[in-house]
Amino acid sequence: MKISLEGKSILITGASSGIGEATARACIDAGMQCSITARREKRLKTLSNELGDACSYIAGDVTEGGFNQHLLDEAGDVYAVFANAGHGLNQKMINCDMKQLHELFELNVFSAIELASLAAKQMVEKKSGHIILNASCLSKFAIQHQGAYCASKSALEAVAKSMRMELKKNKIFVSTVHPIGTKTEFFTESSARSGTAFSTFEKNSPSWLMQPPEKVAKVVVKCLRKPKPEVWTCLPIRLISIVLSAFQR
């Protein structure tokens, strides 16, 4: 089954840079109407102006009470939601800052679940829609110094699996995207938030484990056209995740 995206609308969070920005561009190119959101209004306005009349923006913080409902009210009748907003922490778990851990889960998990749930209620009435949650390859396995981030993405994946079963009868698709390392501001922001000079993940990752955000955007649009439960951007890492799950040691 292939779905025509022409004229369909999508709401994208975390769209002022990186994967969110690239996905907005790709969705516009596919003929969709885009509503984009992030905290940095100036960047959103610049991107919206560049993408033209098919793109509108709503600036704000998805972790603030009531903002996700406001987003959906402003965006109108959306066919799809891409919950992409998130950040990382570069810390050993033994040194984990609990305040930062709470903030990470508020953004990466709770705000995404709230938006997905609110959007699903609207979609159920139409018996049509697609919810996409940006997980990570690290939702399947953990690495050093990224325990909090890995945990948040694992939680998001588990919620998506449950929602997928619950909403299937309503003809609503629920998908997770599992990127590998992506060349965005993510690592710089993670380091700054963690008080480190650099991201250990970015520093220690070989070049083949780093990809441009446009690659993620491409698979998101592909998933919108032909829905799948999980979308991966790197087959070798997908296979490695299976092996690591089977052989923990």
- Sheet with 230-232, edge to edge strand ranges: 55-59, 33-38, 9-13, 80-83, 129-134, 172-178, 230-232
**Nearest in space to 103 (alpha carbons), one of 64, 139, 143:** 64
Length of the chain: 249
Asked if pLDDT for residue 187 goes beyond 90, the answer is no
Each residue's pLDDT tens digit, 106-136: 999 999 999 999 999 999 999 999 999 999 9
Each residue's pLDDT tens digit, 122-181: 999 999 999 999 999 999 999 999 999 999 999 999 999 999 999 999 999 999 999 998
9-246, superfamily in CATH?
NAD(P)-binding Rossmann-like Domain (3.40.50.720)
pLDDT of 199: 66
String of DSSP letters for 205-234: S-GGGEE-HHHHHHHHHHHHHS--SEEES-
Each residue's pLDDT tens digit, 193-239: 767 766 666 666 777 788 999 999 999 999 999 999 999 999 999 99
53 band by pLDDT with thresholds 50, 70 and 90: very high
Mean pLDDT score of the chain: 93
pLDDT of 121: 97
Q: Please give the share of the chain, as a percent, with pLDDT higher than 70.
A: 96
Q: Which of the residue ranges 2-6, 119-123, 183-187, 219-223 would you say has the lowest mean pLDDT?
A: 183-187
pLDDT of 81: 98
pLDDT of 202: 64
